[in-house]
Amino acid sequence: MRYRSRRPADMAVRTRLRELASVRRRFGYRRLHILLRREGVMINHKKLRRLYCEKRLQVRRDRAVSGP
């Protein structure tokens, strides 16, 4: 007798997060969370941040704006 997780697989969320992050390169996980909610994907913000970090996504900096 062992514990068997009943949590649904989140592969669809992972792939959609990757797609949105590739299209919207300047969006962080918070703005991507809003876009996913508008599409009807309800996911906790903490779980979304964990998935965002797992995929090693990050906001790409603009090269045109540099220091003095």
Mean pLDDT of 28-44: 91
- What does the domain layout of the chain look like in residue ranges? 11-54
Query: pLDDT tens, 8-25?
Result: 788 889 999 889 988 888
Residue 37: pLDDT band (50, 70, 90) is very high
pLDDT score of 65: 61
pTM summary value: 0.72
Q: Are the C-beta atoms of 55 and 14 separated by less than 8 Å?
A: yes
> Does residue 49 sit in helix, strand or coil?
helix
